[in-house]
Amino acid sequence: MRRVRTGTHLKHIGNVWYYLRAVPADARHVFDVVKVKRSLDTSNYIDARRLEKAHDIEFEEKLQQARRSGADGYPRDPAARVEELADQVMLSAAEDGIGLDEALLIVPEADRPAVNRVIDGYVDEADKKAPTWSYSSVI
């Protein structure tokens, strides 16, 4: 069940309402700020409440995105992270015409052993699917 937000993130500064929201530490790599502050360009409280909802939706979407990925932009979930990195290595090797060992250097060092195991699995699977030829079958 999704948690319903309570309270307001509105602050009246001078004659204008602002949307203010603290950014959790684990999401600052996406927001690039500690606190979101946006003018709602209105002095009317009812209008400010209406405009706040759109900012809340945008903030929550960005927060969820930040929590799915780490500061390096790759997923936080270990399995998804390794799969994405392995796919990137395979794609880089194919597009750039380089070997897998060289393409593996784009992966953060801590992830290399796990990514290498996944790539080895890809290569083993490809070898199983490849047709085997022998001299006697050609003649």
| 72-101: pLDDT as tens digits | 778 888 888 888 898 888 888 888 888 888
**133 falls in which pLDDT band (50, 70, 90)?**
low
Tell me the whole-structure pTM to 2 decimals. Answer: 0.58
Q: Are 32 and 44 in contact (CB under 8 A)?
A: no
Chain segment 42-65, per-residue pLDDT in tens = 999 999 999 999 999 999 999 998
CA distance 56 to 84: 30
What pLDDT is attached to residue 57? 94
What pLDDT is attached to residue 131? 64
